[in-house]
Structure 1
Amino acid sequence: MQKRVYILAIFLFASLSGFSQYNVDYGFSLGVANYLGDIGGGIETAKSGPSDMKLDHTRFAIGGFYRTRFSQKFAFKGSLNYIRLSGDDSNTANPARRSRNLNFRNDMYELEGHLELYLFRVNDVGRTGRYSTDFNLYLFGGVGAFYSNPKGQNANGDWVELQPLQTEGVSYSKINFSIPAGLGFYYTIDRKYRLGLEMGWRTTFTDYIDDVSNTYANDYDGISNKTTQALLDKVNAENDVNNLLTNFDAGSRRGNPDDNDSYLTATVNFSWAIRGRSNFYKSKHNWVLGKNKRKRRKSRAKF
């Protein structure tokens, strides 16, 4: 009985040692981001899905991450990202939003952590027998926090911070929270480099990523309210309807408070896998590390 327990313990230790060699990686990501909110969008009224996004307002997302895989099925990943979102009513075909004539730009800093659930894995891509390239597909979900500072463009083309202006008479926080979720995959190449793709959706708890949510607090000021009668007349004439739109003055509808803002990222990820330092593993599994040469023992002739 003791012998069986001893053999089982050795087997488990060897398995864990082998798994632990490449369970940590760190790297960087580079990709694109877009947002779903009140500004811009398609020709119809605002929707709560990606179909209302404007692809021409896709901006960038860059970041760094650290991942540790603590079992065959699960890993934890933490990342710090710099994300730019933007929108502009002048680029939508929706008459009401075009005449509202708002725009925004938001450079956000995001800190997020999530769990990865691995759905599919190929240990030896190409069946080379060397196990130097593998493939992993995963779902992820977690929590995040981000710093948000929306800016609007004035008549001179300068970008002005909107949160201090309280454009809707509301003082909202620049720090907000999100729930990231999505799908990703990566290849491990030569046992130590990882190249992957990840698509994530952030559900947030704020409607002020674009500084637009409810009603106007001010009449025309050139920043939070840019609507002019000339623009209204132009939009009405283009739609061949009289009195379709009127001035957006203080107290009138400015956005849709029923849905919070959200955003999407799609990034290419590159990372380095960290090899462990288990002497037991190295002595028993050198073939995994690509060290197949046996050391020759030197001996001196005896006379």
Structure 2
Amino acid sequence: MRKFLTAVSILIFQMPVLLHAQSSELGLLLGVASYKGEINTHLFNPDAFNPAAGLYYKRCLNSFWSFRLGVTYGRISGSDARQDEGFNQYRNLSFRSDVWDASALFEFNFFPFQTAAEHSSKVAPYLVAGITFFHHNPQGFINGSWYDLQPLGTEGQGSGLPNTGSRYKRVQFAFPMGGGIKFKLSNRFSLSVEAVARKTFTDYLDDVSTVYPDNTSLAASNGPLAAALSDRTIFAGTGINTNHQRGNASDKDWYMMGGITINWTISKKYTDKCKPFRTKLR
């Protein structure tokens, strides 16, 4: 979490520099978050949608390009009980995780668009891409309570058992990519509908990646709670699942945040380089 807060602080300290731009916007995102991984295999599965919200600052580079900094929050979750595959039903795992991210994104409009400009297009589809730093904290539910899974080492992390490593990092980076469509409402306000997926480099958004450790040994090294949340099958504690597939480490996880954004222009002035392209009448 400390690394994530450092990244956010850097973005905040850059604000005074960016605010010298002639055309600037603030945006509020309200929407949904979801994820793709072992417990939910479709990124845009409505059954896996949870609330998301975000704030961003955007500056104009020209009528086609913008640069924006943002902070977003979303909850992701998944449950094997909601999946149709027999493997998922047998595994019987579930999780939730609150994801906070700080992003730096470039935005490209297919048509010249600026909220502050008089002659801007009224509607413009756009693409976004950049880099994200995020903090995630998967939790599992048992006996009426939610527990943080990373400290437990449910796949034997930190236990010293054979073929297990150290605990995964909860602060990671990702490559965001997505797009949407924006609508000019006035010279002060515009509305955007977008979805931005984040390609991560971790397979532990859901705390599921490799194989089952020996359950008895895991209970002895990491505690009975780790063992109970590691194996939720009907054969838990028997050892029958030891070293059998629990996840797929070769397929890294994704998460998505999207929805409706209200954009407010905080400066109506803009320089010539930010004006839309047009031909002067003589």
- TM-score, normalised on structure 2? 0.74
Give the number of the structure with larger relative contact order, counting CA–CA contacts within 8 Å between residues 6 or more apart. Answer: 2
Q: Which of 77, 100, 104 is the aligned partner of 1:86?
A: 77
**Matched letter for residue 179 of structure 1:** F
Displacement of 1:263 after TM fit? 1.4
Gaps of 5+ in 1: 1-19, 42-48, 125-129, 232-245, 282-303
Question: What pairs with 1:242-281 in structure 2 (closer than 5 Å)?
Answer: 249-276=241-268
- 1:107 is aligned to 98
RMSD: 2.6
Q: Which of 192, 195, 206 is the aligned partner of 1:196?
A: 192
Displacement of 1:190 after TM fit? 2.1
Listed one character per residue, the Cα deviations across residues 81-139 of structure 1 (whole Å, up to 9, x for unaligned) are 11100000111111111111100000010111110111124789xxxxx7587323211
- 1:214 is aligned to 210
Taking structure 1 as reference, are residues 89 and 139 closer, same or farther at Cα in structure 2, changes over 3 Å only? same
Q: Distance in 2 between matches of 1:66 and 1:100?
A: 43
- 1:162 is aligned to 149
Q: Distance in 1 between matches of 2:113 and 2:169?
A: 45
Q: Distance in 2 between matches of 1:145 and 1:122?
A: 28
Local SS of the residue matching 2:111: strand
Displacement of 1:39 after TM fit? 1.1
Local SS of the residue matching 2:241: coil
Displacement of 1:162 after TM fit? 0.4
Question: What pairs with 1:1-303 in structure 2 (closer than 5 Å)?
Answer: 23-41=23-41, 50=43, 54-121=45-112, 131=119, 134-154=122-142, 156-170=143-157, 171-219=167-215, 221-229=227-235, 249-276=241-268
Taking structure 1 as reference, are residues 178 and 166 closer, same or farther at Cα in structure 2, changes over 3 Å only? same
Contact 1:132 1:189 in 2 (8 A): no
Contact 2:25 2:267 in 1 (8 A): no
Displacement of 1:225 after TM fit? 1.0
Identical columns (%): 32
Q: Distance in 2 between matches of 1:38 and 1:145?
A: 22
Decide which moves more: 61-70 or 185-194.
185-194
Contact 1:152 1:224 in 2 (8 A): no
Q: Distance in 1 between matches of 2:37 and 2:262?
A: 30
Displacement of 1:251 after TM fit? 2.0
- 1:16 is aligned to none
**Matched letter for residue 64 of structure 1:** L
Gaps of 5+ in 2: 1-20, 158-166, 217-226, 273-282
Listed one character per residue, the Cα deviations across residues 235-291 of structure 1 (whole Å, up to 9, x for unaligned) are xxxxxxxxxxx975332211001110001222100121022568x99xxxxxxxxxx
Local SS of the residue matching 2:155: coil
Contact 2:77 2:96 in 1 (8 A): yes
Higher-Rg member (1/2): 1
Contact 2:187 2:268 in 1 (8 A): no
Local SS of the residue matching 2:228: coil
